[in-house]
A and B are shown apart, each in its own frame.
Chain A
Amino acid sequence: MLAGEITSGTSLSLCRARIIYSEDGVLRACDEYKCEEVYVDGVVGYRPAPPIYSPFRISDAVYIEFDKKILVHRGDVIWAHAPLEIILYHKNSILTRLAPGRVKYTLVGNLVEGVIARYAKSRVAKGFPLENKDPCMAHIAFYIAQGEDTIKGVPFNAAYSHLYTDNKGSIFYSLVEVYIKDAIIESRTTSKPPIEGLEKLKQVRAGRTGVFSLTAPVIAVERGWKLWPSLKG
C-alpha cells in the first residue's frame, strides 16, 4: 500500500523511490530523477496521487497505451493500469513528490493541437480488474459511453481523478468515460468509483485555493494518434 506514515530514524522504499528520515529530523526523499532534503519535526505521511508533478509539471494528461488493440462496444468497461506518484506531507503541507517508477511522456495527437501526456503501457482486459503485480500502479477502468471501434489506448485528465482503495490495499482511479466519435476519442474523468465498495482516499491539496471543479475538460485526440512512423519497428 502506498499510503502510510514514516517516523524519524526509519527509512522506506516505495518501488524505485527511497525515503530516509534521520533521527536529527532530515527527511531525504529520492526517486530516479531527483533527491530532496527537508527538515521536519513529527510524523511524515505519504499517499499516492495522480502522476502530474513528478519529475516535471508539464501536463495533466495521462496516456495509457494498451499492449494490444482492443475492440470495444458501447457499455463495455475495460481495465488497465495507470501510474501514480507519491506525495510526502506533514499535516497539510506537501513536502515533496516522488515518481516511484520510470517516467516517460508522449505526444498524443498532432504537434500543434495535440497534448503532451504522461505515458504508460499496460495490459488491458474487459470486464474485470487485471491482477496488479506493481504496487506503484493503480487500476483504472474506462467505461465506453459512446461508439465502438478498435482502440490502442486512451488519454485522460489525471488532475481531476480521485483515488479509491479496496480492503486489500489496491488503488483505483475514478471511472473514466470514453466517447468514440468519428475520428476522435474523448475522455471524461469522473469522480465516481469504478466499482462499488471502494473507499475514497483522502487527498492532500495544500496550496490550492478557490473552487475545485469536478467537471473535467474533455481531452480529444485523433484516434490514429501515432503520426510519425516508429523507426524502432
Chain B
Amino acid sequence: MAIAQGLESIGDLIAANITKIASAIATIIIGVIAAYVVRSSMRRTIGTRIPPYIYRPVENLVFYSILILAGILSLYPFGLSLSSLLVAGGFAGIIVGLAAQSSLGNIISGVFLVVEQPLRVGDPVMIGDIAGEVVDVRVLSTLIRTWDGYLVRIPNQTVFNSIITNYSRTKARRIDFIVGVHYKTDVEKAIKIIIEYLDSNPYCLVNPSPEVFVDSYGDSSVNIRIRCWTPTKLWYPAKIKLQTELKRILEENGISIPYPQLDLHVKSIEPVIRIELKNQEEKNLKR
C-alpha cells in the first residue's frame, strides 16, 4: 500500500515537471552530442598537426568540460543556478571530497602530469617497476603498454608519486655490457679489436666516444666492459646487434669467451691403484 502511494507520488512529481525533465534530458543529449562533435572535429583539424602528448590532454579537457557544462545547464530548469550550485557545492564538496578523495587526487595529479610532463604519449618509460610505452595520459589514470604487450592502467596519483625513468628525453643512450675473455688472451689486442669494431659500427656514436676497458678479473675470465652511446631510438636494435656481432668478431680473431671452468690439480695417486687399473685395462683388452 505504502509502495503504491510512493509510486503514485513519484508519478505525480514527474507529470508536474515533465517539461523540465524533458528539457534537462535534451540539454544532456545535446551536450553529449556537442562533446563528441567537437572532439571529432578537433581530431580532424588539429589532432594530426600537434604532437599527441599536447593534443590528448587538450582533447580530454575540452571533452569533459563540455560534458560538465551540459550537466550544469541541465539543472537550470529546476531552478538550480551556478551560484546556488557553488553554495551547495560548499557542503557537498566536503562530503564528495571525502568520498572521492582518491579520485580527486588522481585528477589533480593528472593535471600536474600534463603541466610538468615527466612523460608524454609514445615515450618509453619505467614507472616504479612497470616498463613500457605511454599509450595515454587520461583524467584519472595513465595507460602503459608494457614491452610484453599488456595494457597497464596506473592511477595518476601513483604515477606522480613514483620514480619515473623516461628513456626518450635524451638524444643518446648508453649500451653497457661485459665480455669475458680467457686469461691467456692478449687483453690489449682484444680491446683494440673491440674498439675497431665499435668505430666501424654505425650504431655507436662518434661523440660521446665508446669506452672499452678491463673491468674486473673474474673466476674464469678477464672481464672487459664495453660502453657505446647510440641514438635513443636505436638503442634496442643496437644492443642486440653489438652483443651478437662482438662474439663472432672476437672468435674470428682467435679470442674465445670462456665458460666457467675448474682446474683440478691432483698432487699424488697411490701407485697400487694405478697398477690395478692398468691390469684391469689389460684384462679388458684381452677379452
Chain A interface residues toward B at CB < 8 A: 33, 55-56, 58-59, 65, 102-108, 111-112, 114-116, 119, 225-228, 230-232
Residues of B within 8 A of A58 (CB): 231, 233-234
In the complex with contacts A58-B234, A112-B169, A112-B170, A107-B229 CB distance below 8 A: yes
12 A/B residue pairs, CB under 8 Å, sorted by A: A33-B202, A104-B204, A104-B205, A105-B206, A106-B207, A107-B172, A116-B231, A119-B205, A228-B207, A230-B207, A231-B209, A231-B210
Nearest-CB distance from A215 to chain B (Å)? 18
Taking a contact as CB atoms closer than 8 A, the residue among B199, B204, B208, B213 that contacts A227 in the complex is B208
**Residue among A55, A111, A112, A114 with max Cβ neighbours from chain B (10 Å):** A111
> Once the chains are docked, how many angstroms separate the CA of A102 from the CA of B210?
17
- For A229, the closest partner residue in chain B by CB is B209
Decide yes or no whether B8 CB sits under 8 A from chain A.
no
Task: Give residues of chain B (165-185) contacting chain A, Cβ–Cβ below 8 Å.
Answer: 169-172
Number of B residues with CB within 8 Å of any CB on chain A: 21
Total A-B residue contacts, Cβ distance less than 8 Å:
62
Q: In the bound complex, do residue B202 and residue A114 qualify as a contact, i.e. CB atoms below 8 Å apart?
A: no
Most chain A beta carbons < 10 A, residue from B207, B210, B213 = B207
Task: Name A107's contact: one of B171, B199, B210 (CB within 8 Å).
Answer: B171
Which of A56, A108, A225, A231 meets B234, CB within 8 Å? A56
A65 to B208, CA, bound (A): 14
A168: min CB distance to chain B, Å: 31
| B171 touching A232, Cβ below 8 Å | no
Q: Which 4 A-B pairs have the closest CB atoms?
A: A228-B208, A106-B206, A103-B202, A111-B170
User: Taking chain A's interface residues, is the majority helix, strand, or loop, or is none over half, making it mixed?
Assistant: loop
Whether B281 sits at the interface, judged by CB under 8 Å, is no
Q: Is the CB of B206 within 8 A of A119?
A: yes
Closest B residue to A58 using CB positions: B231
Residue in chain B with minimal CB distance to A233 = B209
Cα distance, A230 to B233, chains bound together (Å): 23
- Provide the residues of chain A in CB contact with B204, threshold 8 Å: 104
Can you name the residue of chain B whose Cβ is closest to the Cβ of A107?
Answer: B172
